Chains A and B, each alone.
Chain A
């Protein structure tokens, strides 16, 4: 603070003193001078009063004490006067002091105006804070509503997925049952086919042997033809002999000669027929052997059997693959079902977490209330400062009690924050601990 210069030379210490101090110093010196000048008289007076009972040295000491007390009283009086704002003024310094007081009054008036302006700005600050905090509440409320909506959407989708999975499970079960039936039928059919083919192979083998026997018989008939041919030759020879004998018989043998000639013709025809039959039989045997040899070839039968075995193996592999596919399908459905159940449970937990919006809202609402209380107190203080009349004794405004906020708390968390925040600096340094919101669940009490 700048000290007001009251004027005059400054080389003497006394002149640099304030008016009050000058008065005090002068008073002390005046008291001492008076003590020195009147001490003897007073000492003698005391001496006379006590009738000479006191030693003169003691009387002087008493006089010293009296004057010292008088000096101290004067200094005290001056100080009291000063503290009451009505200093004991020497006429010479009155104007200077009044000027100083006027300067200080202007200074305090400026301060007061500044404080009032600050109070006014605080009203706006409070309104701003309330506005921002309410905006936060609205925003978090909207966000919470949106989260709940989205969570419900996810929950709905999970429900739909679960019902789809359930339906797919049913369909899969029915399909699997049908497939198992088809696989069993296929196995039966394959077995029947196998039996049939085995039977057919045996039959074909028998057919092969029959046909070979037939061909053999046909070829064996060729030897019969040779026999017929031989008979025919013999017949022809016999007919020739008969014709010779008929010629030898003359007229009587003419009829027999005709018979012999006819027999020869018949023999010739018989031989021709035998040849033709023989050729035909050989042709038949050749045809049989040629026609059936390919079909009844044992090598071919083995190939067919191998092909069938391959087909049987493929069908069995197909059935096995289908069974494995069905197992995989079931695993996938089970996994998806389990995952969707977990997601549904997490959605419920997520919804439960939205409660923190309400908790935070209540905490912010308390801050808004505290701001409003502070605002009301400032308004009262401002009104008080604007009043012309002075306070009679102590200020009528109650003190602003931070502890009163405690009564407005609606949760233990707020009380904990209150305790921690207003604790000494070492606790305040650990503000991370109370800045967040606890996620611990509350608990249930039954009455």
Chain B
């Protein structure tokens, strides 16, 4: 059975690009347009990994990450932050919130797939 990855980004084009990249590698993909939408879609289904943007409306990536780590069901789900931001202070903020990797846009598909295969839960 294929593993499921949730992609959270307010940009439809980024969601599509990540979606296609992951689907071609054999993963199932669930999409959400921001942190709040993502929390609403976490209804007990098995998510093996999340790819999350940082700057989003309604609920940004760091706030979502904190909410996720405080939850029971998904606190151990690995999260890869996908953002245009490359400042060390921001990366540190993501690390402290519980992110497992920080991918700076524009990403190369092979970089994303390498990070996913390294971190995804069995």
A interface with B by C-beta (< 8 Å): 141, 144-145, 148, 152, 155, 348-349, 351-359, 361-362, 410-413, 439, 441-447
Q: List 21 A-B contacts (CB under 8 A).
A: A145-B12, A351-B109, A353-B106, A354-B13, A357-B11, A359-B84, A361-B11, A362-B55, A410-B83, A411-B84, A412-B87, A439-B106, A441-B106, A442-B104, A442-B106, A444-B115, A445-B101, A446-B100, A447-B94, A447-B99, A447-B101
Q: Among residues 53 to 77 in chain B, which have CB atoms less than 8 Å away from a CB atom of chain A? A: 54-55
Contact of B13 with A444 in the complex, beta carbons under 8 Å = no
Smallest beta-carbon distance A373→chain B, Å: 17
Smallest beta-carbon distance B21→chain A, Å: 7
Question: For the complex, is B16 an interface residue (Cβ under 8 Å from A)?
Answer: yes
> Which residues on B sit within 8 Å (CB–CB) of A148?
13, 16-17, 20
Contact of B102 with A358 in the complex, beta carbons under 8 Å = no
Contact of B13 with A352 in the complex, beta carbons under 8 Å = no
Contact of A447 with B100 in the complex, beta carbons under 8 Å = yes
Smallest beta-carbon distance A417→chain B, Å: 13
Q: How distant is the Cα of A353 from the Cα of B105 in the complex, in angstroms?
A: 10
Q: When A351-B17, A354-B17 are in contact, do A359 and B100 touch as well, CB less than 8 Å?
A: no
Contact of A442 with B103 in the complex, beta carbons under 8 Å = yes
Contact of A152 with B20 in the complex, beta carbons under 8 Å = yes
Specify the chain B residue showing the minimal Cβ separation from A159: B24
Smallest beta-carbon distance A136→chain B, Å: 14
- Give B12-27 as 1s and 0s: 1 = Cβ < 8 Å from A's Cβ atoms: 1110110011001000
Specify the chain A residue showing the minimal Cβ separation from B16: A148
With A352-B106, A410-B85, A443-B111 already in contact, 19 other A-B pairs whose C-beta atoms are closer than 8 Å: A141-B11, A155-B20, A351-B109, A352-B21, A353-B106, A354-B17, A357-B13, A358-B9, A358-B11, A358-B84, A359-B84, A362-B84, A411-B84, A413-B84, A441-B111, A442-B86, A443-B104, A444-B104, A447-B100
* From A352, A358, A439, A446, contact of B115 by CB (8 A): A446
Q: How distant is the Cα of A355 from the Cα of B83 in the complex, in angstroms?
A: 11
* Residue of A145, A411, A445 with most chain B CB atoms under a 10 A cut-off: A445
> Which residues on B sit within 8 Å (CB–CB) of A412?
85-87
Smallest beta-carbon distance A137→chain B, Å: 10
Q: When A351-B21, A358-B105 are in contact, do A141 and B95 touch as well, CB less than 8 Å?
A: no
* From A351, A354, A411, contact of B85 by CB (8 A): A411
* Residue of B13, B20, B86, B103 with most chain A CB atoms under a 10 A cut-off: B13
Smallest beta-carbon distance A134→chain B, Å: 14
Interface size of B in residues (CB-CB distance below 8 Å): 35
Smallest beta-carbon distance A343→chain B, Å: 14
Q: How distant is the Cα of A349 from the Cα of B85 in the complex, in angstroms?
A: 22
> Which residues on A sit within 8 Å (CB–CB) of B86?
411-412, 442-443
> Which residues on B sit within 8 Å (CB–CB) of A141?
11-13
Q: How distant is the Cα of A413 from the Cα of B105 in the complex, in angstroms?
A: 11
Q: How distant is the Cα of A354 from the Cα of B12 in the complex, in angstroms?
A: 11
Q: How distant is the Cα of A356 from the Cα of B105 in the complex, in angstroms?
A: 8
Contact of A355 with B115 in the complex, beta carbons under 8 Å = no
Contact of B107 with A441 in the complex, beta carbons under 8 Å = yes
Smallest beta-carbon distance B33→chain A, Å: 13
Smallest beta-carbon distance B99→chain A, Å: 6
Contact of A410 with B55 in the complex, beta carbons under 8 Å = yes
Question: For the complex, is B91 an interface residue (Cβ under 8 Å from A)?
Answer: yes
> Which residues on B sit within 8 Å (CB–CB) of A441?
104, 106-108, 111
* Residue of B20, B101, B106, B107 with most chain A CB atoms under a 10 A cut-off: B106
Q: Which 6 A-B pairs have the closest CB atoms?
A: A442-B104, A411-B84, A144-B13, A355-B106, A358-B11, A445-B102
Q: How distant is the Cα of A352 from the Cα of B21 in the complex, in angstroms?
A: 8
Q: How distant is the Cα of A155 from the Cα of B109 in the complex, in angstroms?
A: 15
Specify the chain B residue showing the minimal Cβ separation from A363: B84
* Residue of A155, A412, A442 with most chain B CB atoms under a 10 A cut-off: A442
Q: When A358-B11, A447-B100 are in contact, do A442 and B17 touch as well, CB less than 8 Å?
A: no
Q: How distant is the Cα of A352 from the Cα of B14 in the complex, in angstroms?
A: 9
Smallest beta-carbon distance B8→chain A, Å: 14
Q: How distant is the Cα of A155 from the Cα of B23 in the complex, in angstroms?
A: 12
Q: How distant is the Cα of A310 from the Cα of B91 in the complex, in angstroms?
A: 82
Specify the chain A residue showing the minimal Cβ separation from B99: A447
Specify the chain B residue showing the minimal Cβ separation from A447: B95
> Which residues on B sit within 8 Å (CB–CB) of A413?
84
Contact of B105 with A444 in the complex, beta carbons under 8 Å = no
Specify the chain B residue showing the minimal Cβ separation from A355: B106
Q: How distant is the Cα of A412 from the Cα of B13 in the complex, in angstroms?
A: 21
